[in-house]
Chain A
Amino acid sequence: MPPVIQVSGVRKTYGRTVAVDEVSFEVNEGEIFGLIGPNGAGKTTTMECIEGLRTPDRGTISVLGLDPFRQVYQLQARIGVQLQQAQLQKRIKVWEALDLWASLYHKKAIHAERLLESLGLTDKRDAWFMNLSGGQKQRLFIALALINDPEVVFLDELTTGLDPQARRAIWELVRNIRKRGKTVFLTTHLMEEAERLCDRVAIIEHGRIIDIDRPDKLVDRHCPERTIVIATNDPSAEERFRSIPRVESVTRSDSRFTISGRGDDLVTSVIHCLSENHMAVGDFRTILPNLEDVFLKLTGHSIRE
Chain B
Amino acid sequence: MDPQIQDTVDAPPIRVPGQAEVYHGIRVINGLARPERPEASRPLTTMTTPPTRVPGRSRESIPPVSSMDHPSVHTNDSGLYSVRAVGMNLSNRVVIFWNRGKAKINGLLHIAPPRARAVHDSTCRLPHELTEMIIAHLIGDLHALKSFSLICREWYIAAVPHLHHTLTLRDTTPDKTHDKLKPVSKLHKLGLAPLTKEVRVIQPHRTADHWFEPQAFSRRDLHHFSAFTNVQTLTLKEVDIFRFMPDVGRYFGYFSPTLRSIVLALPCCTPRQLSSFLSLFSNLDDIYIYYPLHGSTEVVPDSEPVLFSSPKLGGRLELFDFFWDETFTDLANLCGGLRFRDIDLRNAAGYGLILQGACAGTLETLRFYMPTCEEFNVGSPSDSS
> Is chain B found bound to chain A in the same assembly?
no
Interface residues in chain B, defined as those with a beta carbon under 8 Å from any beta carbon in chain A: none
Interface residues in chain A, defined as those with a beta carbon under 8 Å from any beta carbon in chain B: none
